[in-house]
Amino acid sequence: MIDSILLVDDEDLFHLVFEDACSILDITLALQALNSSDEADRLFKNWFVEGPVEERPECVFVDLNIIGSSFDGIELIRKINHEYGNGVVIGIISSSDDYQEIQKAKSVGAQFWIIKSDEIEPRLIDFRKDYEGYKAKTLPFKVYR
Partner 1 sequence: MISFPADTENELMELYKKKKIALEGNILKVVDTSNPDFRKYIEELKGKDVEQRRKRLTITKQIQDQNKDLTSAKEANESLMSDLQEALAESKKAKAEAEKIRDLAVEDLDTLQKRTQFELIGMIVKIALGVIIGVGILTTVIYGLAIISDKDTQIIGSTWSNMFGILLTNAFSIIGTIMGVKYASSDKKE
Quick one: which of 99, 118, 129, 136 contacts partner 1 (CB under 8 A)?
A: 118
Give min distance, CB of 14 to partner 1, in A: 7
The one-letter amino acid at 101: E
Q: How far apart are CA 139 and CA 13, in angstroms?
A: 31
Options 17-25, 44-52, 70-78, 129-137: segment touching partner 1 (CB under 8 A): 17-25
What is the Cα–Cα distance from 114 to 120, expressed in whole angstroms? 9
Among 16, 49, 67, 125, binds partner 1 (CB under 8 A): 16
Residue 115: strand, helix, or coil: strand
Q: Of 80, 2, 78, which Cα lies nearest the Cα of 40?
A: 80
Spatial separation of the C-alpha atoms in residues 77 and 24, rounded to whole Å: 27
Q: Answer for the pair 75, 105: CB distance below 8 angstroms, yes or no.
A: no
Interface with partner 1 includes 17 (CB under 8 A)?
Answer: yes
Does 20 participate in binding partner 1 (rule CB under 8 A)?
A: yes
Report in angstroms how near the CB of residue 109 gets to partner 1 at its nearest. Answer: 29
Q: Which of 8, 9, 10, 13 binds partner 1 (CB under 8 A)?
A: 13
Beta carbon of residue 113, minimum distance to partner 1 (angstroms, whole number) = 20
Query: From CA 39, how far away is CA 53, in angstroms rounded?
Result: 17
3-state secondary structure at position 104: helix
Size of the site for partner 1 (CB under 8 A): 13
Question: In this chain, which stretch among 25-33, 56-64, 72-80, 84-92 interacts with partner 1, using CB under 8 A?
Answer: 25-33
Question: Which amino acid, 107?
Answer: S
Whose Cβ is closer to partner 1: residue 24's or residue 49's?
Answer: 24
Residue ranges in contact with partner 1 by CB under 8 A:
1, 13-14, 16-17, 20-21, 23-24, 26, 29-30, 118
